[in-house]
A and B are shown apart, each in its own frame.
Chain A
Amino acid sequence: MIPFDYARPSTAKAAIDAVVRDKSARFIAGGSNLVDLMKRGVMTPEKIIDINALPLRGIARTGKTIRIRALTLNSAVAADPVITERLPLLAQALKAGASPQIRNMATVGGNLMQRTRCPYFYDTALPCNKRAPGSGCSALNGYNRMHAIIGFSESCIAVNPSDMNVALAALDATVIVQGPKGERHIPIADFHRLPGNTPQLDTNLQRDELITAVEIPDAPGFATTSLYTKVRDRASYAFALVSVAAALHIENGSIRDARLAMGGIAHKPWRLRRTEDYIRRQQPSIRLFNNAALADLKEARGHGHNNFKLVLAPNTIAQTLRTLAGLA
């Protein structure tokens, strides 16, 4: 690791001021992603701003929303009674991610910001537009088994590796951020970016903005019928090949409402709105789900090693819906 300076401010304002003053400064929370990237020379901040002294921990139910502050640990969110009762989908997704040790370090803010696991992004000896803009994409014609089948560009075919983000996308979360000019609320759908010509930018968060919380609508109709399915190379402790976060509100044998999002297929968590529309106000059936599963994947395209995802993705959507409706 290159040497760097360290600061531990005790207010959000001081933390934001510190990154405004110093263009090479970066926030650090759990460090489970940033320290790894710094060791390998992929990210090289010259100053790190430790935000752990900020009062940004805890979960609160306020009227129609559940607010999770940015420094709350992934393990704490997954075990919190409010979350396991009212947002079990989020608890499931978090428990499917990383390992118990890492979940004890990882924070909600850091998880939102975690970077892709594309092996070429990590390998500073090889071209990568995300790490070194303009150098080329080694994955496009390289080993791209883990990569995107939709929501990619010729500049970058990487996927967002987070499980939590997929659940947040399905649950219509809002990311609350604070910057030098005050607070702003970013809907989760607008938080992460498509790669386009600027794959170096993963999110729409500005460099001097601090994530302070995530807010999720408290929609009890979805609570009892939700499921996170993660397909991976080993039973645990592996990133998703594909994953599906699904919540159905079934009433009198009909699907009143649905929320679906997918991970492992795109540069950002991929909301499946066409599939939701397809099954809304319908009676659950295997046929309905098999057809619905293709609705959002019409433009999907493989890059060679990841062609199997073209089959795995719709199958995982259909299977998740079948299980939720008791048709498995």
Chain B
Amino acid sequence: MTPDHIEESGCQHASRRRFLKQSAAAAAIALAPGAVVKAAEKGLDETAAGYFEKAKLQITVNGTSHELSVEPRVTLLDLLRETLHLTGTKKGCDWGQCGACTVHIDGQRALSCLSLAVMQQGKQITTIEGLSTGETLHPMQEAFIRHDGFQCGYCTPGQIMSAVACVREGHAGSATEIREYMSGNICRCGAYPNIVDAIMDVKKTGGTL
């Protein structure tokens, strides 16, 4: 689908939606006071979702190309977890505050919970599932195990995706620099010292990540 297609079809949806909203609101007003109108509108929003045509999306995840059709409000995080069943990427806060959902988009780390899937047209996504090759773990995964870089493990996929990017970006020069450039990944178990050690180790051992 070309950008123009999306633009045109988008407009049709908008008018359809307005029509639905107006007609339902009119019916509700005839029957009920303000609060109920609001509730009706809210309910309608859910029903109306079915009338929104989905947008086409081509996205490559861990090397596999997918042709999908998605609702514009689906985040990349929900697409990965619920449509593609790649549940390695975690949902911590869903508001951009914890870093558990960190993935690489075209090689750069980003938060999948604040990224709309429909905006990733043509992009290459790497998740924690895409780091290892077969049974061989990625050096950063090995280092996290060696240094005990986790306790409950919930933040770990995000930490590891962020850690790989941190080293690739050249921001792992010292413990202080690592702490600063890993600050977007919160760990409620407080595994920070071991995470820093794991990253230092990978940095020291060198090699290409």
**Same complex:** yes
Number of interface residues of A (CB under 8 A): 41
Residues of B contacting A2 in the complex (Cβ-Cβ under 8 angstroms):
45, 73
Of the residues B6, B11, B18, B184, contact of A8 by C-beta under 8 Å:
B6
Residues of B contacting A235 in the complex (Cβ-Cβ under 8 angstroms):
179-180, 183
The interface stretch among B61-69, B94-102, B146-154, B197-205 is B94-102
Q: In chain B, residues 154-208, which have Cβ atoms closer than 8 Å to a Cβ of chain A?
A: 162, 165-166, 169, 171, 179-181, 183-185
Interface string of B1-34 (1 = CB under 8 A from A): 0011011001101100110000000000000000
Residues of B contacting A98 in the complex (Cβ-Cβ under 8 angstroms):
184
Is there a chain B Cβ closer than 8 Å to A36's Cβ? yes
Is there a chain B Cβ closer than 8 Å to A262's Cβ? no
| Interface, chain B (partner A; CB < 8 A) | 3-4, 6-7, 10-11, 13-14, 17-18, 45, 48-49, 52, 55, 71-73, 75, 94-96, 99, 102, 108-111, 114-116, 118-119, 121, 162, 165-166, 169, 171, 179-181, 183-185
A8, B3: Cβ atoms closer than 8 Å? yes
Known: A3-B72, A100-B165, A101-B99. Contact between A35 and B116, CB under 8 A? yes
Of the residues A35, A46, A48, A53, contact of B114 by C-beta under 8 Å:
A35
Q: With A and B bound together, what is the CA distance between A101 and B119 in angstroms?
A: 17
Is there a chain B Cβ closer than 8 Å to A123's Cβ? no
Of the residues B13, B116, B121, B165, contact of A5 by C-beta under 8 Å:
B13
B183, A32: Cβ atoms closer than 8 Å? no
Known: A22-B14, A101-B102, A104-B109. Contact between A5 and B52, CB under 8 A? yes
B162–chain A nearest beta-carbon distance, Å = 7
Q: With A and B bound together, what is the CA distance between A71 and B115 in angstroms?
A: 16
A39, B95: Cβ atoms closer than 8 Å? yes
A-B contact pairs, 18 of them (CB 8 A): A3-B49, A5-B52, A6-B55, A7-B11, A8-B6, A10-B4, A18-B7, A31-B114, A35-B114, A36-B96, A48-B116, A99-B99, A100-B165, A100-B166, A101-B111, A101-B162, A102-B111, A236-B183
Smallest CB gap from A6: residue in B: B72
Q: With A and B bound together, what is the CA distance between A1 and B118 in angstroms?
A: 14
A99, B114: Cβ atoms closer than 8 Å? no
Residues of B contacting A3 in the complex (Cβ-Cβ under 8 angstroms):
17, 45, 48-49, 52, 71-73
Q: With A and B bound together, what is the CA distance between A26 and B158 in angstroms?
A: 30
Smallest CB gap from B158: residue in A: A101
Q: In chain A, residues 102-122, which have Cβ atoms closer than 8 Å to a Cβ of chain B?
A: 102, 104-105
Smallest CB gap from B184: residue in A: A99
Of the residues A10, A75, A102, A236, contact of B179 by C-beta under 8 Å:
A236
